Amino acid sequence: MEENKQPSSQKIQIYPTSTGEISPFWRDKYEKDAKKYWDIFYKRHQDKFFKDRHYLDKEWGQYFSGIDEKVILEVGCGAGNTIFPLLATIPNIFVHACDFSPRAVNLVKSHKDFDDARVNAFVCDPTVDDLIQHISPSSVDVVTMIFVLSAVSPEKMPLMLQNIRKVLKKDGCVLFRDYATGDLAQERLTSKEQKISDNFYVRGDGTRAFYFSDEFLINLFNGNGFDAEEHILCFKQVENRSRELVMNRRWVQAVFRVGSGISAGKTESKVKYLGKDNDIPEIPKIILEDSANETEVDISEGMALEMFGISSPKEEILDVISKDYSFKIKVLSKEYQHTCKSTGLMLWESARLMASVLAANQTIVSGRSVLELGCGCAGICSMVAVRSANLVVTTDGDTKALDLLNQNLALNLQPPIPARLITKKLEWGNTDDVESIKRLNDRGFDVIIGTDVSYIAEAIAPLFSTAKELIRPSRGDEEDSTPALILCHVIRRVDEPSILSTASEFGFRLVDRWPNALTSTSTSQNIIQSWFSDGSLETCIPTTALNILYFHKL
């Protein structure tokens, strides 16, 4: 006779297993907000980040010289690290300078050597904005692209090259320098799981970097009407003596000429190695070019951070004010959020709003037992609720989030932390975890709160299943004391009809919503609206995309 086997507890993996790449959410966010991240970059670093590029006239002087004035276009001008060294050494040039960061263009215009008779600086995203709105067609002799194309997603690179080709003269050329595959920075970004796609990565500050292979680069330019005139793969060793580290940097330097785009395979690739002879790497079938004059590589503060493992703190402290409450909340730094599988290590807008609601309307939790689902590391809703609630149990399925939560409780609550505030691990659908919560309060909870917990489709059913197990049974009380499940969220990957359908399956009835109240004769339909009745919370709403759903258990 077979033994009766207990069914294994259902567990839901809310966060996907690592694929070595950032999530689609972050990939899309970095694409959409690329301009914003570079604007923040220049706000933070001003003109101190990149070195001035004094090597340009040494490397490419013949392309700038001539009897007639040369017209230059610097794409991605940044703070002017290319423009002003050129203007200082080559008198007979006029420079168009564009960047999609308004702050960068302002840095150029405010530079002490800026002269609008010699420089036309303007804001432009060449993957979207037509350059001929700012520059006459076929009027530019030379385009410089210095560590700029790497900041563009590979899918948009052809758009930029086609746009540039419109303003170049028939014999115009592109002077190109950018990161090469195998560079140390790429290796470090790979190990940090900051990969967006093949050879494309996001740095800690939200800016992106693509690393070019020979084949990709040549095919890209050939496919958009350029012939390769020169193509050099450069190596340089960078030493940090204090750490006894020697790091290998790689970048590609090339010249492309407007042409037929059929030069693939015709240009002889070279390698320029800037280091000790006995350290020269073996590179088969490539000519090694002797280099007595060491060419500079743009080693900036940021690159040093990438190379030598010096990084900004992984945690930052946010000042959060909710009504008459003030918190200091330790969260994962924004520079690391995209590499983290847990969304519980940051503070979401919905938690800010719900904490403000509870602060202004203590009657929601006063004298009641409260359970917070998926509280994350902040716990601000629970810290507000504990002032008047009989019991507050704040939970999350991520142990790292709970560790940081306990630090935040200690940071914000006067010792000792009230015994009626308990933190507990709770994976939705995990029978053992649910039973552990029940032992804390076997009568069930009067109020269950969840902020931004409904963004993954696979987690919706376990969420409502867990709430069903832990909410206090209704005893036919007055409406205002009936146990309630309150969800505050921004609609993300899961649509609201799916949420409501699943809620109904587990016996939850939607009785009110905000900002659009239910069209019903029920007296409960004004529950949420009453929370905002005095207008004092209007300034606490961080985004108009927030929603609140108020459920009763049938």
* Mean pLDDT on 533-537: 75
* Mean pLDDT on 162-181: 94
Query: What pLDDT is recorded for position 548?
Result: 93
Provide, rounded to the nearest whole percent, the portion of the chain with pLDDT above 90: 46
CATH superfamily, domain 24-308, is Vaccinia Virus protein VP39 (3.40.50.150)
Query: What pLDDT is recorded for position 476?
Result: 60
Q: How confident is the model at residue 206 (pLDDT cuts 50, 70, 90)?
A: confident
What is the third-level CATH fold of 315-553? Answer: Rossmann fold (3.40.50)
Q: Which region among 169-178, 332-341, 397-406, 498-507 has the lowest average model confidence (pLDDT)?
A: 332-341
* CB distance 209 to 151 below 8 Å: yes
pTM, entire model: 0.56
Domain boundaries defined on the chain: 24-308, 315-553
List the one residue out of 214, 210, 215 whose CA is nearest residue 233.
214
- What distance in Å separates the CA atoms of residue 459 and residue 372, rounded to the nearest whole number? 16
List the one residue out of 18, 10, 9 whose CA is nearest residue 342.
18
Domains 24-308 and 315-553 are alike in CATH topology: yes
Classify burial at 117, counting beta carbons within 10 Å of its beta carbon; exposed 0-12, middle 13-18, buried 19 or more. exposed
pLDDT of 410 above 60: yes
End-to-end distance of the chain based on CA atoms, in angstroms? Answer: 41
DSSP string, 292-333: SSPPP----HHHHHHHHT----SEEEEEEEETTEEEEEEEE-
| Strand blocks (E) in 339-495 | 369-373, 391-396, 421-425, 447-451, 484-490
User: Alpha helix locations (H) across 83-133?
Assistant: 83-89, 102-109
* Mean pLDDT on 60-82: 88
Between 198 and 289, residue with greater pLDDT:
198
Q: How confident is the model at residue 172 (pLDDT cuts 50, 70, 90)?
A: very high
pLDDT digits (tens, 9 = 90+) for 340-360: 556 788 888 899 999 999 999
The residue count of the chain comes to 554
- What distance in Å separates the CA atoms of residue 87 and residue 95, rounded to the nearest whole number? 8
Q: Which region among 49-53, 202-206, 263-267, 316-320 has the lowest average model confidence (pLDDT)?
A: 263-267
